[in-house]
Chain A
Amino acid sequence: MVHSTISLPQRFLNWLRSWEGLLLGLFLVVLTINSALVPAYLSVSNQVNLFILFIEKSIIALMMTFIIINGEIDLSVASLMGLSAGTMARLFELGAPSGLAVAAALCLGLICGAFNGFWVTVVGLPSLVVTLAGLIAYRGLVWVLVEDRSITTLPAWLCELGQKPLIGPFPLALLLFFGFAIIGYIILQYSGFGRLVYVIGINRDVARYSGVNVRRVKMILFIASGFIASLAGLLYAARLGAMRSSTAEGFELDIITMVLLGGVSIFGGSGSLRGVFLSILIILNLRNGMGLAYLSANVQTGVIGLLLILSVLVPNLVSSLRARMVRHRELTRALEMAESS
C-alpha cells in the first residue's frame, strides 16, 4: 500500500507519456500510409493545403485545450467566428476603414469572451450552459447583421493575407498556428499561470481554498478564447474571400474532437498541448490522405468517429488492465512469501 501513493502520480505520468506515444505512433502510421499510397501527398503545396483547410479550427483547438484542462468548455467559438467575420464584413461594406472594421471585430471577440466569463465566474453558472447560450445568441446576431445573403466585399489586403503565402510557401494563418502552439506550450507547461490552469482543473474548490484566484484565471481564459475565436473568424473569411450567416457553423464539435483525441480529459485537470498538437496532425493528415484517395465523406466521418471512440476506450481499458496486472503481481508475491515462510 505504501508504494502505491508514490506510484500514483508516477503511473499518471506514465499514462500521459504512453498516450502521447500512442498518438505519435498513430501519426507515423498515417504518414507512412499516405506517402506510400498517395503520390501527391508529400508535395509542398499539399502539405500547406492540408493545414490551411483546417487552420482556423486548429488555432482554436489550441486555445480550447486551456479551457478544457481548466475544467470548462466554450461552445460559442464557432458562432463567435461567424459574428466576428460578419461584423468586420458589414462595417467594411458600410464604408468603415478596413483597419477599423478588423479592430472592431477583434474587440467584439474580447467583449463576448468577457461576457461568457462573467456568467461563469461572477454568477457561477456552468460554462456548458453559458456558452451554449452564446452559441445560439452570437449566431442569431450574425443572422440579424448579415441576413440571408453573402458579403463578398472584404478588404483586399485581408483577402491577400488569407489566400497568399506570406513567408516562403506559408500563409499568415499557418505561421500564427505554429507561433501559438509554441507560445501556448510554454505558458501551459512552464509558467505559473499554466500550473494554475491545471490545479483549478483538477479541483476548483481545493484551488480556491489554497488562495488561488480562480475567477481571475477563468476570466482570462474566456476572454482569450473569445479573442482567438474572433481572430480565427477573420482568418476564415479572409481565406474564403466571402462570408455568410452560416459561416463556420458547427465547427465547435470538430474543435472539441481535436482536443479530446489529444488526450485531454473532458473533466479537466489532465492533458497537454503536445497531445493536442499530435491529434491535430493526425486528423489533418488522415483527412488529407483519405480525401486524396477519393474515399467518400461518409467513410471519412466514420473513420474519424471510430478514432474518437477508441481514444475514449483505450485509456480506460489500459488503466484497468494495468491495475489488474499490478494486483496480480502483488497477489503472486504475497503467495510466494506465504509459501517461503
Chain B
Amino acid sequence: MRKLSTAFAILVMVSMVMALAPAAMAQGPVKATPGQAVKMVLLPKFLGNLVFDQAHEGALEAAKELQNPEPLQFLGPTPQDSVAGQIEIVTNSVTQGVDAIMLSNNAGDQIAPAAKAAREAGVTFVTWDSPIPSAEGEQVFVAQVDFNETGRVMAEMALNILGPEGGKFAVLSASPDAANQNAWIAALKEVLKEPKYSKLELLDIVYGNDISEDSYNQALALVDKYPEMKLIMAPTTIGIAAGAKALQDEGLCGVEGQEPKVVISGLGLPVEMVSYTLNGCAPQFALWSFRDLGYLTYYVTYLLATGAIKGEIGERFEAGRMGVYTIEKDPTREKGLRVLMGPFTIYDKTNVEAEAK
C-alpha cells in the first residue's frame, strides 16, 4: 500500500512538473522537485584524485538537498585504465538501467559511441570538468570556468599582489605543448595589453612539465636569472606548489616581518597551498571549486532526468544554493551546449583555511 501511494505521489509530481514546465520557462527559472527517484552515476576521469573526491562531496550535498531516494554511485576507472575503463563503466551503467550519467571525460571522442548508446537507451548524459569534444551523445556540459577568463584572473591577481606600481614577473607553466596552459598564457598576454595592467611586465615563460622537482628548479632558476623579478605566476597546481616550496626554502618570501622579495601566484589547490598562503609565499591564488562543480552538475542532471528542463538553449533553472543558471551554446566547441559555472574563487589568508579542511 505504501509503495503504491509513493508511486502515485511521484506520478502526480511528475505530471505536475510536466504541466508546469512550459509555464515556468516563460516566467522564471525552473525549480527542481525534490524526492524523485533518479539512479545517477558520477564518473570522474579516474579514482584517487583529490579534486574528483571534492566534486563527489558536492554531488552528495546536492543529492541530500534534492532528497533523491536512490544512492549516488561514484564509479571511476584506475588511472592506468582510464579510457577503456570509462567506456566500460558507461556501458555497464546502461545495462544496469541507471537514469543518468555524469562524466568528466578523459577519453576524448572515443567515448562518443558508448555515450550515444546510453542516450538511445534513454539515459540522461551530462559532462562536467571535461566535455566530449564532438558533443556526440552529450546533452549539456557543465563548464567550471570560461577558459579565456583565466588570463584576466591571473593579471588581476598580479596587480593585487604587486600593487598599483606593478612590477616584473615570470610565468612557470606545465609543458610547452599543453593546450590549456598555452591558451591561458595567450589570454594573459592579451589582457596585459590593456592600460589597467600596463605596469605589469612579463619577463619570461619557463616550463616545469608538471613534475615537482623540475618546477622547483625552474622557480629557483628564474630567481637567479632575474634579480628584479617580484612574482612568479604558475597556472598549474603542481607548479605553484613546487614553486612556493622553493621560495620558502630559500627564504625569499619574507621571514618574520621582512618585506618579501619574490612571491608566487597562479592556479592552486587550497589544501596544498594553505601553509604557503599563511606564511606569505603565495598570498593569493585562484581555482574553481570542484565541490561546487559537483553540486551544480548534480542539479543540472537531476533537472534533465526528471524532465524539468529539456536541455535547450535559453532554459533557465535554479541550482540550490548556487543560484540561477542558463543553458547556452558552448562557444569553445563547434557543437554542444554548456552551463557555465564560473567565476574563479580567489583564495587568500581570509578563506584558504576554510576551503582546505
Residues of A participating in the B interface, judged by any CB pair closer than 8 Å: 40, 43, 45-46, 49, 53, 148, 150, 152, 159, 163, 239-244, 246-247, 250, 287-288, 291-292, 294, 296-298, 301
Does B21 belong to the interface (CB within 8 Å)? no
A-side contacts of B283, CB under 8 Å: none
The distance in angstroms between the C-alpha atoms of A43 and B121, with both chains bound, is 15
The distance in angstroms between the C-alpha atoms of A301 and B95, with both chains bound, is 21
The distance in angstroms between the C-alpha atoms of A244 and B110, with both chains bound, is 8
Those 7 A-B pairs whose CB atoms lie nearest each other, nearest first: A242-B109, A240-B110, A150-B108, A291-B92, A152-B109, A242-B110, A46-B95
Beta-carbon contacts of B76-118 to A below 8 Å, as 1s and 0s? 1110110111011101100111000000000111111100000
Given the interface pairs A53-B91, A152-B134, A294-B75, the reply to whether A241 lies near B112 with Cβ below 8 Å is yes
Does B224 belong to the interface (CB within 8 Å)? no
Query: Is A297 in contact with B47, judged by CB distance below 8 angstroms?
Result: yes
Query: Which of A148, A240, A288, A297 makes the CB contact (< 8 A) with B113?
Result: A240
Given the interface pairs A240-B87, A240-B113, A294-B73, the reply to whether A288 lies near B78 with Cβ below 8 Å is no
A-side contacts of B47, CB under 8 Å: 296-298
- Extra A-B contacts (20), CB below 8 Å, given A292-B95, A298-B47, A298-B78: A40-B96, A49-B92, A150-B109, A150-B133, A152-B134, A159-B113, A240-B87, A240-B109, A240-B110, A240-B113, A241-B110, A241-B113, A242-B109, A244-B110, A250-B81, A288-B92, A294-B73, A294-B96, A296-B76, A297-B47
The distance in angstroms between the C-alpha atoms of A298 and B85, with both chains bound, is 11
Residues of B participating in the A interface, judged by any CB pair closer than 8 Å: 47-48, 73, 75-78, 80-81, 83-85, 87-89, 91-92, 95-97, 107-113, 133-134, 177, 179
Q: With CB as the reference atom, state the residue of chain B lying closest to A53.
A: B88
B-side contacts of A46, CB under 8 Å: 95
Q: With CB as the reference atom, state the residue of chain A lying closest to B73.
A: A294
Q: With CB as the reference atom, state the residue of chain A lying closest to B177.
A: A148
Q: What number of A-B contacts does a CB cutoff of 8 Å give?
A: 75
B-side contacts of A241, CB under 8 Å: 109-110, 112-113
B-side contacts of A53, CB under 8 Å: 84, 87-88, 91
Closest Cβ–Cβ distance, residue A125 to chain B (whole Å): 28
The distance in angstroms between the C-alpha atoms of A287 and B89, with both chains bound, is 11
Chain A to chain B contacts (Cβ below 8 Å), 12 pairs: A40-B95, A43-B95, A45-B95, A49-B92, A49-B95, A53-B84, A53-B91, A241-B110, A242-B109, A242-B112, A297-B47, A297-B77
Q: Give the most central of A150, A241, A288, A301: most B CB within 10 Å.
A: A241
Q: With CB as the reference atom, state the residue of chain A lying closest to B117.
A: A163
Query: Is B91 in contact with A297, judged by CB distance below 8 angstroms?
Result: no
The distance in angstroms between the C-alpha atoms of A187 and B327, with both chains bound, is 60
Q: With CB as the reference atom, state the residue of chain A lying closest to B109.
A: A242
The distance in angstroms between the C-alpha atoms of A57 and B47, with both chains bound, is 23
Q: Give the most central of A40, A163, A240: most B CB within 10 Å.
A: A240
Query: Is B81 in contact with A292, judged by CB distance below 8 angstroms?
Result: no
The distance in angstroms between the C-alpha atoms of A240 and B177, with both chains bound, is 25
Query: Is A292 in contact with B92, judged by CB distance below 8 angstroms?
Result: yes
Given the interface pairs A46-B95, A53-B87, A148-B177, the reply to whether A244 lies near B108 with Cβ below 8 Å is yes
The distance in angstroms between the C-alpha atoms of A43 and B134, with both chains bound, is 31
